[in-house]
Amino acid sequence: MNNKEFISQLATRTGFTVKDTTALMAALTTEMAAQLEEENSINIFGFGSFEVKKKLERVVINPSTKQRMLVPPKMTLSFKPSTTLKEKK
Amino acid sequence: MDKITLSELADALAKRKSLTKKDAEAFVRVVFDTIRENLLEDELVKVKGLGTFKLVQVDSRESVHVNTGERIVIDSHSKITFTPDKSLADCVNRPFAAFETVILNDETRTEDMERIDPVEEPEPVVEEPAVEEPVAEPEPAVEEPVAEPEPVVEESVAEPEPEPVVEVPVAEPELEPVVEEPVEEPEPEPVVVPVMETVVEPEPEAIVEPEPEAIVEPEPEAFVEPEPEPIIDPEPEPVEPEPAPVVGNETPAKGNGSSSRIWLWAAILLIVAGVGYWLKVNDKLNFGPKNPKTELVAEKAEEVPVQQPEPAVVEEDSTVVTEPEQKDTTAVAIVTKADAEKLAADYPQIENGEYWITGIKTEHVLEKGEDLSILAKKYYDDKRLISYIIRMNHYTNAQASNLFVGAKVKIPELVKRN
């Protein structure tokens, strides 16, 4: 299901117009992004949690060229489904 | 580092969009309900600005129970994966966005990897000459002059051999090694041989090969021959490695005249059975007049080169490549290890980093409009080195991005690692 289908289904379920729903979703995602950027974790009960994890820098080797590269540290977003969601699937 | 719940998210949304709290919370709840339900139905939900949720089927697999050590089967199940949107991933990674993957030169850390290389390299090197010979020879098979230079090339490879040949008979005149050799030698060789003979045709060539060499030089032949012979002879002859040196020692008297005949034979017939039979006949003729002593010497000669050529070949090829490297890395390792321990005790270091922190350069009081990347740019002329400042001051990323004016920031003294 792509974003368009998602928005239209959301619109029918919430009663907002598609336009409003799109705007609300944009606001929601920017808010989530803002929270995650500050390394806050977002915990949605019954769905799962979004968490920012720090990955250390490391050295990797290109197996074909044997070239060694230093991969810089980075922050990644991880999602952990809640146990209730895990059981349902 | 707070934990944000759905209701807090809804509050923030309500403020942004001037909704009531109740509406906002209902909306957020429906959003995640919709994602969940569609995920279970559709197995894939894409949400712009957030990412893609996906259901992935995991096959059943066997595992071991962590506590009891029993073997258990983990049933196949589906799991949820989430791939963040590019925009969201970038947003989260903003503090480290300036970093780039750096290609490394020689450094201490990779010793372990280089130690593996020399082991890997020699093997193909040893095999290659074996493979090349049968390929190279069939063409010159018709021409004599071309056939001769090849043994000359082998000579240069086999140069260290003659000495051991002289030594061994003196050191061990006993008969026992003679009995052992035929048993030992066939084993290692067939390992190499199958590689050459993945193609069917090389076989006759492999048979042709030993003959000229045997005639021209007894020594290198001893090192090449054992490879092809075990394949041809097994049927009729119980003593496999012997015939080879026998041909070598006796035939040199006949000289090149017979070698040309052999080459012609090989070129015209190219039949395994024919040449194999011819070989056998030749061997039987030579067996009678042979002295037991010369046989001994011949076998010794065979034994020694068979064991030695491998290291010899390996050394020649690999030393050129590996030795200097090893020297370099060990030299670097000694310097950096001693330093590293000292430095790591005194100052926080970045593991595998490009620089060592060797001291405190200065203490900088943050002014308005400054942040750490500006300081890194100012002091090192490279804002990527911000991570060393962060490390030096033991900041978390959140702290590093939320420093106040007036904060005292230690600027580390950096020394490039070798």
pLDDT in tens, B133-154: 444 444 444 444 434 444 433 4
- For B102, the closest of A30, A69, A76 (CB atoms) is A69
Contacts of B44 in chain A (CB under 8 A): 1
Res B202 pLDDT > 50 = no
Q: What is the structure's pLDDT at B329?
A: 40
User: Which of B258, B284, B307 marks a domain boundary?
Assistant: B307
Looking at the fold, whether B178 and B272 belong to one and the same domain comes out as yes
Q: Are residues B157 and B236 in the same domain?
A: yes
Higher pLDDT: B322 or B348? It is B348
- Within an 8 Å CB–CB cutoff, is residue A25 touching chain B? yes
Examine residue B337 and state whether it is found in any structural domain, yes or no: no
C-alpha atoms less than 13 angstroms from C-alpha of B272 in its C-beta half-sphere: 12
**B119: number of Cβ within 10 Å:** 11
Answer yes or no: do A25 and B16 touch at CB < 8 A.
Answer: no
Question: pLDDT band at B230, cuts 50/70/90?
Answer: very low
Cβ separation A23–B17 shorter than 8 A = yes
Q: Which residues of B touch A44 (CB under 8 A)?
A: 5-6, 9, 32
Residues B61 and B152 in one domain: no
B102/A47 Cβ within 8 A: no
Which CATH number do you get for residue B360?
3.10.350.10
Same domain, B151 and B235: yes
Question: Looking at residue B278, what is its pLDDT?
Answer: 63
Maximum average pLDDT range among B24-28, B365-369, B384-388: B24-28
Task: Look at B313 and A25; give whichever has higher pLDDT.
Answer: A25
pLDDT (average), residues B351-379: 81
Are B186 and B239 part of one and the same domain?
yes
Q: Where are the domain boundaries for CATH 4.10.520.10 in chain A? A: 40-89
Look at residue B132 and tell me if it is in a domain: no
Residue A66: what pLDDT? 82
Q: Which of A4, A21, A31 to mutate to test the interface with B (most CBs of B within 10 A)?
A: A31
B198 lies in the same domain as B277: yes
* pLDDT above 50 (res B296): no
At residue B93 the predicted structure's pLDDT band, cuts being 50, 70 and 90, is confident
The string of pLDDT tens digits covering residues B8-65 is 888 888 888 888 888 888 888 888 888 888 888 877 888 888 899 888 888 888 888 8
Within a domain: residue B102? no
Question: Hey, what are B187's tokens?
Answer: 């084993």
A22: its two tokens: 């799109």
Q: How confident is the model at residue B330 (pLDDT cuts 50, 70, 90)?
A: very low
**B26 touching chain A per CB within 8 A:** yes
pLDDT at B413: 84
Instruction: Identify the residue among A5, A20, A21, A29 best suited for mutation to test binding to B, counting B beta carbons within 10 A and taking the highest.
Output: A29
B395 touches chain A (CB under 8 A): no
- Token pair listed for B18: 């001037």
**Same structural domain, B226 and B159:** yes
> What's the confidence (pLDDT) of residue B40?
84
Chain-chain contact of A89 with B55 (C-beta, under 8 angstroms): yes
> A30 contacts in B (CB within 8 Å)?
16, 49
Q: Is B172 helix (H, G, I), strand (E, B) or coil?
A: coil
Which amino acid does the sequence have at B418?
A: N
Residue at B10 is within a domain: yes
Residues in A touching B396 (Cβ below 8 Å) = 39
Residue of A nearest to B6 (CA): A44
Distance separating alpha carbons of residues B25 and B269, to the nearest angstrom: 91
Whole domain around residue B389: which residue ranges? Answer: 347-416
With CA atoms as reference, report the closest residue to B95 among B350, B404, B401. Answer: B401
8 A C-beta contact, residue B56 and residue B76: no
Is the pLDDT at B211 greater than 80? The verdict is no
A57: closest CA of chain B, how far (Å): 8
Structure tokens at A64: 């074909």
Contacting B residues, span 274-333, partner chain A, CB-CB under 8 Å? none
Q: Cβ contacts (< 8 Å) between B113 and chain A: which residues?
A: 61, 68
Query: B31, A25: Cβ pair inside 8 Å?
Result: yes
> CA distances (Å), B340 to each of B232, B337, B355, B380, in order?
61, 5, 11, 22
Decide if pLDDT at B185 tops 60: no
Residue B39 and residue B52: Cα distance in Å, rounded? 10
Least confident window among B29-38, B69-78, B324-333: B324-333
Q: Do A74 and B27 touch (CB under 8 A)?
A: no
Residue A59 forms beta bridges with which residues? Answer: A70
Assess if residue B142 is contained within a domain: yes
Check residue B320 and give its pLDDT.
Answer: 40
Amino acid at position B213, single letter: E
Does one domain contain both B160 and B278? yes
B80 to chain A, closest Cα gap in Å: 7
Interface test with A, best of B22, B93, B385 (most A CBs within 10 A): B93
Q: Are residues B240 and B175 in the same domain?
A: yes
Q: Are B218 and B245 in contact (CB under 8 A)?
A: yes
A7, A20, A22, A24, best to mutate vs chain B, most B CBs in 10 Å? A24
Task: Give the CATH number, domain containing residue B35.
Answer: 4.10.520.10
Q: Which of residues 32-71 of A touch B (CB under 8 A)?
A: 32-33, 35-48, 52, 54, 56-59, 61, 66-71
In this complex, is the C-beta atom of B58 within 8 Å of any C-beta atom belonging to chain A? no
- Confidence class of residue B109 from pLDDT cuts 50, 70 and 90? low
Instruction: Write a three-state SS string for B202-219.
Output: HHHHHHHCHHHHHHHCHH
User: Of A70-84, B245-259, B333-347, which gets the smallest average pLDDT?
Assistant: B245-259
> How many domains in chain B?
3
Q: For B57, list phi and psi in degrees, rounded to 5.
A: -80, 130
For B63, list phi and psi in degrees, rounded to 5: -145, 180
Asked if B213 and B220 count as a contact pair (C-beta separation under 8 A), the reply is yes
Tokens of B48: 């712009």
Residue finishing a domain among B96, B116, B148: B96
User: Considering just the CA atoms, what is the radius of gyration of chain A in Å?
Assistant: 19
pLDDT mean values, one per 10 residues, chain A (89 residues): 85 86 88 86 88 87 85 88 77
B146 shares contact with chain A (CB less than 8 Å): no
- Tell me which of B332 and B405 has the higher pLDDT: B405
DSSP assigned state of B347 = S
Q: Is the Cβ of B195 closer than 8 Å to some Cβ of chain A?
A: no
Domain A40-89: CATH superfamily is: IHF-like DNA-binding proteins (4.10.520.10)
Given B280, B307, B334, the domain boundary residue is B307
pLDDT of residue B277: 62
B361 shares a domain with B300: no
Q: Measured in Å, how far apart are chain A's first and last C-alpha atoms?
A: 17
Phi, psi of B31 (to 5 degrees): -55, -50
Alpha helices in B43-148 (DSSP H): 86-92, 111-120, 122-136, 144-147
Is the pLDDT assigned to residue B129 strictly greater than 60?
no
Does B164 share its domain with B66? no
Helices and strands, counts by H and E, chain B = 22, 9
**Average pLDDT rounded to a whole number, residues B123-127:** 39
Mean pLDDT to the nearest integer, B170-184: 40
Q: Which pLDDT value is given to residue B391?
A: 81
Instruction: Kindly give the pairing relationship between strand B102-103 and strand A74-81.
Output: unpaired
> H or E stretch including B411?
strand B408-416
Residue contact A74–B109, C-beta within 8 A: no
Statement to judge: residues B92 and B143 lie in one domain: no
Q: Let me know if residue B156 belongs to a domain.
A: yes
